[in-house]
Amino acid sequence: MDIFDFAILNTTDQANLVWTNGTYLCSKSNGLKKYNLYALENFYVEMLYDPSDNTVKSIKSFRSERLLKPYLSQIKLKI
């Protein structure tokens, strides 16, 4: 699956695909919002999660290094 195939899925299918096939990389918080970053195939997926009501608020897929930059200091690689 490529980023374009992923983008045309509905939010529920995107979330299920990320949870079953994605690799969790890290999280960041911004106030009450929590962002989880996953790698899927050859792109990244950022899920905005609201822990107060246990729901995914939005899903964004990207390949951009600019969008990945805020996460780089938090990603831990095991070699």
Specify the higher pLDDT residue, 32 or 13: 13
Let me know if residue 49 belongs to a domain. yes
Q: What is the CATH number of the domain that holds 14?
A: 3.30.67
Distances (CA, A) of 5 to 35, 67, 78: 22, 20, 30
Distances (CA, A) of 16 to 37, 40, 56, 73: 14, 12, 11, 27
Provide the mean pLDDT of the chain.
90
User: d(Cα 36, Cα 48) in Å, to the nearest integer?
Assistant: 7
Let me know if residue 47 belongs to a domain. yes
Here the tokens at position 43 are: 């792109």
pTM across the whole model: 0.86
How confident is the model over 51-68, as pLDDT tens digits? 888 889 999 999 998 999
> By residue range, what is the domain housing residue 18?
3-71
Let me know if residue 77 belongs to a domain. no
Let me know if residue 9 belongs to a domain. yes
Residue 37 half-sphere exposure, CB side, CA atoms within 13 Å? 19
